[in-house]
């Protein structure tokens, strides 16, 4: 974990604890004003605690007295819960409500970092990796099927119908995303909407509170390479973030330089996430033959046997947009 991410996470956790304590004090003051009987019972509980300390200090056979005080304390707590219920409050209204009950918002549990702290630190690291990605610029509502009208594949099927099905699948995938969602391979020629729809999925999944990492394969691999060979000063572990995020989106598979190191990292990412049952979305301009040519059988097999394959069809949308723009200028 990067030290600054851990420090930031600790600040967030500490703020949560302060907020819980502030809320608890405000609730106590509210109940003292609205239910005066609770104030008197709390005074009795305070006296009980003081009596208990005195019994312990005196020593001797205090077991009977301690048990009597314990029962008295329980009865008082029960009376408070009954009063809260009678006045329309939940029975735990005066309890301290932490965001993480495991560590009570301290960041530590069982002598080590609490999972809430490490998870938050990891999310901060992922936000840093995603800082250049403009997720909100791509949405399902801005994906236009009109560019596929009147086009047909080599086999004669309608491009519009094929892309309509893909759009529906991606929208449903995002709406019902969970850690059990399948992995997806988006393949087809450039400019057919693979990046747009993968970003639209990422946008919706992020709104649900899941962690998402998105970038081109080459950018991720270069960062992993810098850290692996010690050419990166920052204390980061990009590879672990790629392996652990809820949804990983790898754009433009096949554009990276084909070294043995890159091949092994790509295999590690795909295989590890598959073993951990973590969904991955891969987009590429290559078809099965292209992927099998550039990558070894282990990678090709895992992608085409475990991923849901979506073949994008049609004509480069950017070319169509440029043609439409030129025609519009010619008419002016």
* Residue keyed to tokens 């080599």: 154
CA 250/CA 216 separation, integer angstroms: 6
User: What are the tokens at 48?
Assistant: 């009980």
- Percent of the chain beyond pLDDT 70? 83
Task: Tell me the Cα Rg of the chain.
Answer: 29
CA 28/CA 31 separation, integer angstroms: 5
pLDDT at 92 over 80: yes
28-85 confidence digits (pLDDT tens): 999 989 998 888 887 777 777 666 666 666 665 666 666 777 777 788 888 889 999 9
pLDDT at 90 over 90: yes
Strand 247-253 with 108-109, pairing = unpaired
Please choose, from the candidates 244, 304, 286, 292, the residue with its C-alpha nearest in 3D space to the C-alpha of residue 268: 244
List CB contacts of 270: < 8 A, sequence separation 6 or more.
280, 299, 302, 303
Return mean pLDDT, the chain. 85
pLDDT at 1 over 80: no
CA 32/CA 315 separation, integer angstroms: 71
* Residue keyed to tokens 């048990």: 67
pLDDT at 233 over 60: no
CA atoms within 13 A on the CB side of 161: 5
CA 309/CA 193 separation, integer angstroms: 15
What is the 8-class DSSP label of residue 152? B
Strand partners, 251: 216
State mean pLDDT over 214-219: 90
**Confidence band of 258 (pLDDT split at 50, 70, 90):** confident
Domain spans of the chain?
3-116, 132-322
Q: Under CATH, domain 132-322 is a member of which superfamily?
A: P-loop containing nucleotide triphosphate hydrolases (3.40.50.300)
pLDDT reported for residue 5:
63
**Is the entire prediction scored with pTM above 0.75?**
no
């Amino acid at each position: 974990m990067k030290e600054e991410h851990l420090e930031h996470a600790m600040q967030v956790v500490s703020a949560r604890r302060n907020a819980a304590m502030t809320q608890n004090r405000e609730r106590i003051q509210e109940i003292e004003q609205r239910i005066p009987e609770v104030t008197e019972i709390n005074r009795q509980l305070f006296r009980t605690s003081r009596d208990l300390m005195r019994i312990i200090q005196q020593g001797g056979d205090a077991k009977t007295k301690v048990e009597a005080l314990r029962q008295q304390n329980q009865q008082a707590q029960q009376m408070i819960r009954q009063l809260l219920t009678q006045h329309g409050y939940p029975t735990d209204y005066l309890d301290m409500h932490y965001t993480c009950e495991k560590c009570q918002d301290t960041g530590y549990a069982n002598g080590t970092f609490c999972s809430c702290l490490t998870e938050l630190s990891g999310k901060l690291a992922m936000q840093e990796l995603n800082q250049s990605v403009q997720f909100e610029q791509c949405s399902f509502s801005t994906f236009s099927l009109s560019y596929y009208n009147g086009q047909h594949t080599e086999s004669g099927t309608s491009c519009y119908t094929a892309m309509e099905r893909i759009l529906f699948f991606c929208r449903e995938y995002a709406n019902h995303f969970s850690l059990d969602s399948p992995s997806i391979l988006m393949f087809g020629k450039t400019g057919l909407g693979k990046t747009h729809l993968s970003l639209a999925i990422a946008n919706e999944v992020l709104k649900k509170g899941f962690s998402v990492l998105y970038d081109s394969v080459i950018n991720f691999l270069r960062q992993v390479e810098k850290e692996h060979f010690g050419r990166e000063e920052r204390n980061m572990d990009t590879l672990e973030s790629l392996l652990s995020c809820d949804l990983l989106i790898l754009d433009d598979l096949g554009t990276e330089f084909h070294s043995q190191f890159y091949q092994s990292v790509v295999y590690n990412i795909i295989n590890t996430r598959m073993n951990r049952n973590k969904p991955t979305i891969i987009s590429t301009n290559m078809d099965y033959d292209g992927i099998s040519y550039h990558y070894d059988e282990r990678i090709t097999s895992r992608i085409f046997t475990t991923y849901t394959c979506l073949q994008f069809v049609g004509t480069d949308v950017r070319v169509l947009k440029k043609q439409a723009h030129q025609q519009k200028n010619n008419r002016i």
